[in-house]
Amino acid sequence: MKHRIDPKIDCVFKALLGADENRNLLIHFLNAILGKALRSPLATVEILNPYNERETLDDKLSIVDVKAWDGDDQIYQIEIQLLSYPSLPARILYTWADIYSQQLHSGNDYGLLRPTYAIWLLAENLIPKDSNYAHIYQMRDARGRTLLAHGGIWLLELEKFAAQRIKNERQRWLQFFKVGGQIDDTVLPDWMSTLEMRQAMSTLRQFSEKERNYHEYQARMNYLRQQRTIERDLEDMRKETLQARQEKEAAVQREAQAMREKEAAFAEIERLKALLRN
């Protein structure tokens, strides 16, 4: 390839899993990630928002995720997230709930609701206190009993994922998204010797060698860098504001404590004066 291409950049990610010509990759990816959570392996899906290289380059909403459904009307959402931030879990849950609720229209019966599966590949760690890279959230009670088997949310933290040897198709996909941007396509590693991985590398090659596609890739890279810079600056400002507020509150507390001690000292003096008078 003329240029190394990172599959985590959203326009590349969507071309990999959201293009009609790569529908077999999407099916393979969903089967690999969801595994036994599916009643049976997927054989076909319909992409609801297929990748189009003519999409507006700076339109974040038009290009970021992949949505599909299967023959049983089960819904799938796949998203790549490069930056972790405090409100991301709320966004993830809200997005799942929004997609799930959009199935019903006025007058529809609740029985029409179908399982909804959300898969998030996270470039940065979201749950630092847990060493596991895979997290599955479904509607269960504290004893593990399922309220309703209607899909759930799969979070996969790529930073934590580390495999000395690729043992299954899920690991193969995670390894591809984690290190795909560093791979020399002239000497592919053994774990990329499958038809799906070679097809995925072919998609990366298109972004590397076609001028329009590489321009799109570079534009998205620049846009995302700007977004990450702005978000990190805002987070730094938030931390500085919080620290200043905490320091001010601590100063007020110290002043109040000093005042209480001063009043107690005056009270003690008055008590001793009273004893002397008596």
Q: How confident is the model at residue 211 (pLDDT cuts 50, 70, 90)?
A: low
Q: Is the pLDDT of residue 257 over 80?
A: yes
Q: Is the pLDDT of residue 234 over 70?
A: yes
Percent residues over pLDDT 70 in the chain: 94
Give me the domain span that covers residue 174.
10-233
pTM score: 0.78
Collapsing DSSP states into helix, strand and coil, what is residue 154? strand
In a domain, 57, yes or no: yes
In a domain, 276, yes or no: no
Percent residues over pLDDT 90 in the chain: 55
The bridge status of strand 151-157 relative to strand 134-137 is: antiparallel
In a domain, 257, yes or no: no
Q: Which residue matches tokens 């959570």? A: 37
Strands (DSSP E) found in the chain: 45-47, 65-70, 75-81, 116-122, 134-137, 151-157
In a domain, 248, yes or no: no
pLDDT at 54: 62
In a domain, 123, yes or no: yes
How many domains in the chain? Answer: 1
pLDDT at 207: 84
Neighbours of 82 (CB within 10 A): 18
In a domain, 42, yes or no: yes
* Token code pair at residue 1: 């390839």
Q: Which of 27, 47, 40, 65 is nearest to 195 (CA)?
A: 27
pLDDT per residue as tens digits for the range 56-111: 444 544 445 899 999 888 999 999 998 888 899 999 999 999 999 999 988 889 99
In a domain, 205, yes or no: yes
User: Average pLDDT, whole number, for the chain?
Assistant: 88
pLDDT per residue as tens digits for the range 190-207: 999 999 999 999 999 988
pLDDT per residue as tens digits for the range 121-145: 999 999 988 999 999 999 999 999 9
In a domain, 188, yes or no: yes
